């Protein structure tokens, strides 16, 4: 759906959703991208645009302000990144004055956006720099002082660097607000407004999974007659995602979580608190399931290591608080497990959105005890989710058929890791021992000529 937007707050809150055509989409070349960018996309395994990209790129290339409503995982990063790169190509940035600005709510999302845009920008001779809290600030200052084309930033750290006079926003030509609703939820709107007030009235693009009253204030104040592209609704009506509600006795809950976590494939487990995440990961490790941890109390290096291990498959389970519910894209997460129910419907949708991304299939399972069930059902109704509900404990055949659950090994992860080097050493020694027996010849004691590269054992010297 594309149209000019009125500035009425009520109209934004009641914006009707129409799914953009998903078949017979134009190719990237037909959208106006040059061959060098199309080739770079192909090299990165991206051969055709997603619906949000096909819907928005032409308007952005035409210079219009834009409001995009799309679920996470729908391809928003390239939807704004590709036309921004083309808009900025061909000019040199001045020190401290970036020409493209992308504001995101979390450093994890900032890292993801930076990783996605950097190789594509380099194709056009542009630089992309990450500015986020929890990372060395001096390196960020040095990059800005040298001059960069595009800055991907979290609001707080960018404002800090501006106060240090390491960055000025008076040369920004394109400004993007990604996950704007999450920035509103985190209370970043005052900072975002102060930052936007420092940018010229160039092109502004706002992308959000939902368009509620807080986001509409940004639209009214900073977007000029934007085109509106709504690719998905704020409900969880995703054809490739199935939702299940398992009622489990409190005393049997961990055994059920452990059996589901022991399945094959990537599993993302959500809990309420940082301590709960640490505790669950430890207990899973004792049951034989290796699990990483991601929450706001971890250092940036710890969070990066946990995400990298989850992405490369060395750890197939990630236990997280809602810090991971938005903006983190890990391929092939086939199951999301709500170990603890989320606080509200919006959190449920964003947690669940970690699976069934970009047309892939996924399973979402929410666990509830008898004391939580009424509130959980109400929350699911508000989220517009229809669930398959059943009683469940570890070992149920139905649970296994839905989730792939299986009995964990019971061998603590720490013990298994200590045993692995010994097992490898034993395996590597086995061929050597077998070869030694071959050199001794048959059991009868008869000798044989040595084969190529063999050596006859030395005879013992007299007197030894």
Residues 340 and 218 in one domain: no
Q: Which residues contact 54 (CB under 8 A, 6 or more apart)?
A: 20, 25, 26, 31
Residues 381 and 353 in one domain: yes
Residues 188 and 269 in one domain: no
Residues 283 and 215 in one domain: no
Q: Is residue 197 part of a domain?
A: yes
Residues 356 and 383 in one domain: yes
Q: Is residue 399 part of a domain?
A: yes
Q: Which residues contact 8 (CB under 8 A, 6 or more apart)?
A: none
The number of distinct structural domains making up the chain is 2
Phi, psi dihedral angles at 409 (to 5 degrees): -65, -30
Range of the domain at 138: 9-230
What pLDDT is attached to residue 330?
A: 83
Residues 87 and 219 in one domain: yes
Q: Is residue 27 part of a domain?
A: yes
Residues 323 and 215 in one domain: no
What pLDDT is attached to residue 383?
A: 87
Contact 385, 238 (CB under 8 A): no
Last residue of a domain, one of 403, 424, 443: 403
Residues 221 and 254 in one domain: no
Tens digits of pLDDT across the chain (464 residues):
444 444 444 444 454 443 455 567 899 999 999 999 999 999 988 999 988 899 899 999 999 999 988 766 778 899 999 999 999 999 889 999 999 999 999 888 899 899 999 999 999 999 999 999 989 999 999 999 999 999 999 999 999 999 999 999 999 999 999 989 889 888 899 999 999 999 998 999 999 877 666 788 898 899 998 998 886 555 544 567 899 999 999 999 999 999 999 999 999 999 999 999 999 999 999 999 999 999 888 888 898 899 899 999 999 999 999 876 665 678 889 999 999 999 888 889 889 988 887 667 899 999 999 999 999 999 999 988 989 999 999 999 999 999 999 999 999 997 767 665 555 555 555 554 444 444 444 444 444 444 434 344 444 444 44
Q: What is the pTM of this model?
A: 0.75
Residues 200 and 299 in one domain: no
Phi, psi dihedral angles at 246 (to 5 degrees): -105, 120
The whole-angstrom separation of Cα 13 and Cα 336 is 29
Q: Is residue 433 part of a domain?
A: no
Q: What are the distances in angstroms from CA 306 to CA 106, 140, 174, 230?
A: 16, 23, 33, 34
Last residue of a domain, one of 403, 423, 441: 403
Q: Is residue 236 part of a domain?
A: no
Q: Is residue 207 part of a domain?
A: yes
Last residue of a domain, one of 230, 262, 281: 230
**Residue 379, domain CATH:** 3.40.50.300
Q: What is the CA 183 to chain-centroid distance, rounded?
A: 17
Question: Is residue 125 left, alpha or beta, with left meaning phi > 0 and alpha meaning psi from -120 to 50?
Answer: left
The whole-angstrom separation of Cα 408 and Cα 430 is 30
Residues 250 and 225 in one domain: no
Contact 53, 83 (CB under 8 A): no
Residues 226 and 246 in one domain: no
Instruction: Describe the strand order of the beta sheet including 128-131 as a list of residue ranges.
Output: 128-131, 150-153, 100-103, 174-177, 203-208, 66-69, 227-230
Q: Is residue 459 part of a domain?
A: no
CA-nearest of 337, 303, 297 to 317 is 337
Residues 209 and 290 in one domain: no
Q: Is residue 254 part of a domain?
A: yes
């Amino acid at each position: 759906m594309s149209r000019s937007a009125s500035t009425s707050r009520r109209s934004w809150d009641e914006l009707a959703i129409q799914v953009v055509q998903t078949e017979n989409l134009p190719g990237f070349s037909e959208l106006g991208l040059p061959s060098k960018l199309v080739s770079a996309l192909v090299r990165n395994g991206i051969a055709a645009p997603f619906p949000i990209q096909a819907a928005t790129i032409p308007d952005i290339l035409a210079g219009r302000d834009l409001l995009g409503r799309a679920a996470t995982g729908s391809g928003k990063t390239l939807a704004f990144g590709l036309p921004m790169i083309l808009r900025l190509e061909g000019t040199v940035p001045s020190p401290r004055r970036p020409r493209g600005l992308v504001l995101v709510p979390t450093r994890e999302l900032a890292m993801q956006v930076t990783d996605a845009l950097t190789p594509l920008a380099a194709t056009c001779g542009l630089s992309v720099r990450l500015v986020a809290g929890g990372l060395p600030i001096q390196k960020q200052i040095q990059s800005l002082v040298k001059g960069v084309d595009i800055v991907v930033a979290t609001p707080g750290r960018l404002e800090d660097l501006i106060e240090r006079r390491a960055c000025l926003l008076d040369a920004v030509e394109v400004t993007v607000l990604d996950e704007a609703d999450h920035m509103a939820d985190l209370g970043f709107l005052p900072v975002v407004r102060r930052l936007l007030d420092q940018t010229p009235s160039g092109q502004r693009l706002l992308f959000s999974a939902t368009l509620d009253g807080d986001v509409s204030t940004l639209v009214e104040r900073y977007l000029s007659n934007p085109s509106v592209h709504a690719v998905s609704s704020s409900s969880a009506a995703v054809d490739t995602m199935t939702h299940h509600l398992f009622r489990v006795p409190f005393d049997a809950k961990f055994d059920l979580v452990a059996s589901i976590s022991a399945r094959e494939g990537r599993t993302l487990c959500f809990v309420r608190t940082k301590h709960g995440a640490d505790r669950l990961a430890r207990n899973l490790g004792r049951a034989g399931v290796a699990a990483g941890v991601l929450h706001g109390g971890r250092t940036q290096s710890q969070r990066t290591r946990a995400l990298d291990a989850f992405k490369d498959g060395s750890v197939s389970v990630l236990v997280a608080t809602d810090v991971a519910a938005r903006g983190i894209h890990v391929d092939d997460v086939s199951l999301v497990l709500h170990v603890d129910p989320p606080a509200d419907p919006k959190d449920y949708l964003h947690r669940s959105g970690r699976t069934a991304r970009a047309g892939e299939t996924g399973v979402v399972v929410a666990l509830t005890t008898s004391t939580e069930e009424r509130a959980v059902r109400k929350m699911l109704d508000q989220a517009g989710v229809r669930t398959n509900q059943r009683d469940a404990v570890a070992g149920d055949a139905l649970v296994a058929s839905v989730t792939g659950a299986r009995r964990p090994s019971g061998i603590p992860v720490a013990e298994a890791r200590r045993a692995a080097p010994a097992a490898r050493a034993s395996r590597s020694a086995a061929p050597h021992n077998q070869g030694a027996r071959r050199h001794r010849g048959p059991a009868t004691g008869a000798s044989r000529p040595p084969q190529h590269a063999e050596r006859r054992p030395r005879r013992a010297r007299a007197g030894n």
